[in-house]
Structure 1
Amino acid sequence: MGHSAAIWDYKAAVEITKDWNGIDQAVLGNPQGASARVSLHGGQVTSWRNEHGEELLFTSSKAIFKPPKAMRGGIPICFPQFGNCGSLEQHGFARNKIWMVDDNPPPLHPNDSQGKAFIDLLLKPSEDDLKFWPHSFEFRLRVSLATNADLMLISRIRNVNGKPFSFSFAYHTYLSVSDISEIRIEGLETLDYLDNLCRRERFTEQGDAVTFEAEQVDRVYLGSPNVIAVLDHEKKRTYLIRKEGLPDAVVWNPWEKKSKSMVDFGDEEYKQMLCVDGAAIEKPITLKPGEEWTGRLQLSVVPSSFCSDQLHL
């Protein structure tokens, strides 16, 4: 690369290119060689690679990359609903829309841009959207890649309506893992969760970690901590998920039977993926006219020697 981090030009570290469907995407880079890709279709992060070029997000080999369908993998954004209820399509419409590059976003905290390559995107409702969900909003999304390869997503949703509206939200994060049966999630023990496979009945997590054994898991953990760790024993690495403004955490793995029923998902691919989402689901967010909500997600990878006792640092 030839650039030292001190003189690294972060504007030059963002490139707008086209994907194979001719849709604009932003490619973010850092001096060490890590990268992230963000499609303007859905404002969806489609790739996050470390400095060795290893892909950290899962994308199905059978994913359908053509709008208006959201791609199976990466980090789709679920807004204004998570799940399937009411008149809207599953997980809302934000992940199926073409976003704009936002050249003049209102300022964020200086820390949100210092030493980071970033792209700002903007979604506003179309006339059609307003027929199905009659609320005017501005959804600003910043995706950034730091010098240490951390990936950060900051969503700001403003009510520009004359009346209040409510929404639920999730960053539907597909992590790439070596073998689902070797994975442990720490940080969710003792919490209550809603089980989507049991009509959203409420249970309490009994294990000292969440593990995966022979069946689908689809849960919303309530009031979850701001740091969750996903330990990949085989790869000797841990994903750290830090979140703000997102009280809930969704954990999903389709396992074998469900995998076979999804056209855009390989029959055996459940072994190499796990969704752990920062989310706001149980208590929808309500914005009065002029109010704004911010939800942040930061993804890091650390060696697994990193101990969960250090999560509070």
Structure 2
Amino acid sequence: MPLNLVHASDGLPRVLLTEPSGSSAEVLLYGGQVVSWKNDRREELLFMSSKAILKPPKAIRGGIPVCFPQFGNLGSLEQHGFARNRVWSLDNNPSPLPSADNQSSVDLILKSTEEDLKTWPRSFELRLRVSLSAGKLTLIPRVRNTDSKAFSFTFALTNYLSVSDISEVRVEGLETLDYFDNLMQRERFTEQADAITFDGETDRVYLSTPTKIAIIDHEKKRTFVLRKDGMPDAVVWNPWDKKAKALSDMSDEEYKTMLCVDSAAVETPIVLKPFEEWKGRQELSTVSSSYYSGQLDPRKVLRGFH
């Protein structure tokens, strides 16, 4: 399928993905970032801040930023690493992934530059395949060590999900797990609630999470299902009112209509020997919550990949 590469009015080239049922996605070369995913009813499923700054070198507030080679401030690099602040290229040699039949997909690549080697002196290739099919958005990141010595990195795909009202949202699949609370100097706690709900700022890294997590939006009667592989942690974040006011690239009230649930490898950095490759995978899909009669069956949620 020929790639539909367009240059939008903001000057950032992007790839438009469409599929026969009518859903669509937009992927920027800047940051290799998905900035839109619409369902077959043309409803936007990802949150994008109305104040997002769409010009380098700022990171873009919304969509699905790629955090590499560092998550958060857990290292000497800029917050969340540099991959989300670089212009990626179309990857003309995306093998060895199988071809994406019945899917609209794009393969992107980011290689270490002279500039990057000054701050992170390790040679790498970071590839990302974004595939769209009916009701599903799949991201497959791969990191190859092209250096002469081993290196380690942390990684995340930050999913800014669009929700109707954060105080009506619940996350299932993370109960009973340990998490680091970034609001408490990364102190470790165990989740006691039977589902995560929101009534204030939340910034947690859940550890050793299942391959499937559900984000239930009661008001929209819609459930996001996040399936992931190779990224054992899950980050749950909402800035709430005070932090949102402090963010220059977010409107004061926008925290109410977004929730980040990230696929991540944070607690244990990924180590690659020379010429080794790491591969992750995440699938985002939506189901009508009424299908679950308003309550998600945890046994269905936690079964992992279908």
For the pair 1:233 / 2:196, whether they are aligned, the reply is no
Q: Which amino acid in structure 2 is aligned with residue 144 of structure 1?
A: S
Matched, 1:95 2:84: yes
Instruction: State the match for 1:4 in structure 2.
Output: none
Distance 1:224 1:127 in 2: 36
Identity %: 60
Residue of structure 2 in register with 1:6 after alignment:
none
- Identify which of 252, 255, 277 aligns with 1:267: 252
- Map 1:282-301 → 2, pairs under 5 A: 282-301=267-286
Alignment correspondent of 2:145: 159
Correspondence for 2:197: 211
Q: What is the Cα deviation at residue 201 of structure 1?
A: 0.2
- Residue in 1 that maps onto 2:181: 195
After TM superposition, give the deviation of residue 262 of structure 1 in Å. 0.3
Asked whether the 8 Å contact 1:192–1:202 carries over to 2, the reply is: yes
Alignment partner, residue 122 of structure 1: 109
The answer for the alignment partner of 1:131 in structure 2 is 118
SS of 1:38's equivalent in the other structure is: strand
Describe the superposition over 1:113-146 as per-residue Cα deviations: whole angstroms up to 9, x where unpaired: 0110000001001101001000000111100001
The residue that corresponds to 2:131 in the other structure is 144
Relative to the length of structure 2, the TM-score reads 0.96
Distance 2:10 2:221 in 1: 36
Distance 2:98 2:184 in 1: 42
Paired residue secondary structure (2:53): coil
Q: In the alignment, is residue 78 of structure 1 matched against residue 67 of structure 2?
A: yes
Deviates more, 1:62-71 or 1:101-110: 101-110
Q: Which runs of 5+ in 1 are unaligned?
A: 1-10
Rounded to whole Å, the distance in 1 between the matches of 2:11 and 2:91 is 19
1:184 — aligned with what? 170
2 CA distance for matches of 1:96 and 1:206?
A: 37
Asked whether 1:25 is paired with 2:23, we answer no
Matched, 1:56 2:45: yes
Q: Give the TM-score taking structure 1 as reference length.
A: 0.93
State the distance in 2 between where 1:96 and 1:20 align.
19
Which position in structure 2 is the counterpart of 1:7?
Answer: none
Q: Select 1:108's aligned residue among 70, 86, 97.
A: 97
Post-superposition CA distance 1:200-224 (Å, at most 9, x none): 00000000000001x1000000000
Aligned letter for 1:176?
A: S
Q: Distance in 2 between matches of 1:228 and 1:133?
A: 33
Instruction: Give the Cα separation in 2 of the matches to 1:19 and 1:158.
Output: 31
User: In the alignment, is the contact (CA less than 8 A) between 1:30 and 1:149 conserved in 2?
Assistant: no
Aligned to 1:5: none
Deviates more, 1:299-308 or 1:87-96: 299-308
Note if 1:221 corresponds to 2:206. Answer: yes
What is the identity, as a one-letter code, of the residue corresponding to 2:8? D
Q: Contact 1:42–1:95 at 8 Å: present in 2 too? A: yes
Long gaps (5+) in structure 2: none
Whether 1:257 aligns to 2:242 is: yes
SS in 1 for 2:17: strand
